[in-house]
Amino acid sequence: MPKKKKLFTKFLIWRAKHITERQFIYFLSILVGFTSGIGAVILKNLTHFYQHLLEGNLVRDYHHAFYFVFPLIGLILVYLVIKYVIRHKVSHGIPSTLHAISKRKGIMKRYQIFGSILTAPLTVGFGGSVGLEGPSVATGAAISSNISRLLHMNQSARNLLIGCAAAGALSSIFKAPIAAIIFAIEVFSLDLTIASMVPLLLASISAIITSYFFLGDDVLLPFKIEDSFEISDVPFYIILGLVAGITSMYFTEVYTRVQKFFDKFDSPVKRLLIGGVSIGVIVYFIPPLYGEGFDVINNLVKGHPGNFLDNNVFNLNLDNVWTLIMLLGGLVVFKIFATSITFGAGGVGGIFAPTLFMGSLMGNCLAKILNNIGLLSVRISESNFTLVGMAGLMAGVLHAPLTAIFLIAEVTGGYELFIPLMITSAISYPIAKYVHPHSVYNMQLGRKGELITHDKDHAVLTLMDIDKVIEDNFVIIYPEMTLGDIVHKAVVKSSRNIFPVLNKKDGTLLGIILLDNIRSIMFKQKLYDKVIANEVMIKPPAIIELEKDKMTDIMDKFQTSSAWNLPVLRNGKYIGFITKSKLLTAYRRKLITFTK
């Protein structure tokens, strides 16, 4: 073992001497792209193995009722794997990655490398109505983070390589390298510079080559545009954009409320049983909601909804178009419930695939309604609306309009639908963002103000560690202390010109004394026994509360109060001061690191 460490140390020294930081990042981005591609392939194949084993044989050869028990069995297996194998909480893919970037300096635990690989296929393969894109991103991101730590890369490089992992995972899954790069930039708020673009490009290329090597020419969404875009269709795509925006609001609202409902249960077993039975009932009555649902999307685009609706539990006749529209609308309504319940019950997966699923159904359903209400002299392309609907919902739910546009453009093999994609996404995105300022991915971080954004100043402040700028070497004064005590026990012994006044019993902050407050009397010895601290202390211009205030709030308090020192409280108790000079020094250092 010591020999290996020496060899590794020698390698790091050799690398520092002979390979520049940028060259090494280029090499690592290729490696990260390859590992992300491998992770995505493993997740997909393992999930399809479970799904084919269960859905293909047991359901077909035995009984449809297995749909009811599969999700519960899968969630129980996930619970057991997390509790006894992983022994750590496995968070949802992309939100956990964003948290690592925003609050953990790009550091992800080792168990996160295999956490999603062990749990996501069990969740989805056994019928959980979630996707695999998020877990694929999380797996690749965890690998890249740990590689970065092993090779002593700085925080800026770690974050960039996590973005490369995200691009690699999406590129491998959809074989859409450009959309994957844009996804990393939009969702992870990476700067669009040459320094970041080249690594993202290299990671995306290496991942897609890996995917072709293991999966061949198989494409997850093998679409081809059959109907050309006509300028007369613009009003209908505007309507689609409006409907997509409203549906995005519905998606986010239901997701949030269902998560809050499950958060009320302290016991994970209760959540598992309630969620497992609920998702089992939903999948039993609506089998198309089983798993990711890409087969449904493919059949929908090809104009074969009967392939997944023929055996509906109500035995409804699909020859009636309004019956078909009702069933498709029902899938749109219940998909987000199935997805949210899967998460609430403890399942591991992603929100990307459910968004595409709902978007495709929404677009197809709207096209059918417009074509059959008898008011139009032209016929709308249902396949195009299905494709563009996916982009509209992605733009609204994920707050990633550019990713939505380029993903659908790439998977369709051309840019014939570029204008409809732009129109629909440009309408859906602002509608959804107005109601829900933060996407499903970054909702929790956004509400806490801990989300990295493209605003560089805000991003740097978010990355700063508040605890590291708190100073506690201030001499404490108590309210009953006399002026003489203040001078001899505080002023003489301190290099500071500010003193906190605390309650002696509980340590709460009562006020502060500035040297300027007592300068005119501090040499008048006649007053030493007559004046007490309680009489000369003043209220601080502002107070920093660690439980409430973010770094951006702290900066605002310094700016509005014009103070150079502000007291800091934790749980109502005084712990120290933050000085403006130290805060600005820390900001400058973080800015230099962030922009390297």
Q: What is the DSSP letter of 231?
A: G
Tell whether 165 and 268 lie within a shared domain.
no
Looking at the structure of the chain, the number of domains it has is 3
Tens digit of each residue's pLDDT (9 = 90 or more) over 204-216: 999 999 988 887 7
Q: Per-residue pLDDT for 452 more than 60?
A: no
Least confident of 33-42, 71-80, 435-444: 435-444
Percent of the chain exceeding pLDDT 90 equals 20
pLDDT at residue number 447: 47
pLDDT value of position 253: 92
Residue 405 counted as domain residue: yes
Q: What pLDDT score does 56 carry?
A: 57
Distance separating alpha carbons of residues 554 and 583, to the nearest angstrom: 9
8 occurs within a structural domain: no
Same domain for 277 and 394, yes or no, is: yes
Residue 319 has pLDDT above 80, yes or no: no
The residue with tokens 């973010």 is: 550
Mean pLDDT of 221-234: 79
117 is written with which tokens? 């690989």
Asked whether residue 69 falls in the same domain as residue 28, the answer is yes
Mean pLDDT computed over every residue of the chain? 83
Cα atoms found within 13 Å of the Cα of residue 226, Cβ hemisphere only: 13
pLDDT score at 423: 95
Phi, psi of 577 (to 5 degrees): -130, 155
57 and 95 share one domain: yes
Q: Which of 266, 284, 222, 236 is nearest to 385 (CA)?
A: 236
Burial of 293 from C-beta contacts in 10 A (0-12 / 13-18 / 19+) = buried
Q: Which residue stretches of 189-267 are H helix? A: 194-215, 234-263
433 and 514 inside one domain: no
Taking 60 as the threshold, does the pLDDT of residue 41 lie above it?
yes
pLDDT in tens, 64-112: 666 778 888 989 999 999 988 988 887 777 777 777 776 777 788 888 8
Q: Is residue 11 part of a domain?
A: no
pLDDT digits 0-9 by tens, 542-596:
888 877 877 777 888 888 888 888 888 888 888 888 888 777 777 676 655 555 5
CATH number, position 480: 3.10.580.10
Asked which of 388, 419, 451 is the last residue of a domain, the reply is 451
Q: CATH no. for residue 414? A: 1.10.3080.10
Domain identity same for 467 and 385: no
Looking at the fold, whether 441 and 311 belong to one and the same domain comes out as: yes
Q: Within this chain, do residues 371 and 243 fall inside the same structural domain, yes or no?
A: yes
Q: Are residues 415 and 533 in the same domain?
A: no
Per-range mean pLDDT, top range of 221-230, 397-406, 488-497: 397-406
Q: Domain for residue 10, yes or no?
A: no
Q: What is the mean pLDDT of residues 364-382?
A: 86
pLDDT of residue 1 exceeding 70, the answer is: no
Q: How confident is the model at residue 448, as a pLDDT?
A: 47
Six token digits for residue 478: 């108590």
Containing structural domain, residue 153: 18-215
Domain co-membership, 364 together with 422: yes
User: Does residue 221 sit within a domain?
Assistant: no
For residue 314, is pLDDT > 80?
Answer: no
Over pLDDT 70: what percentage of the chain? 88
pLDDT for the residue 240: 95
- 383 and 241 within one domain: yes
Residue 220 lies in a domain: no
* For helices 234-263 and 268-285, angle between their N-to-C axes, nearest 10 degrees: 140
Same domain? 324 vs 210: no
DSSP 350: B
Average pLDDT over residues 343-363: 90
Structural tokens at position 356: 């595409």
Determine, yes or no, domain membership for 286: yes
In this prediction the pTM is 0.78
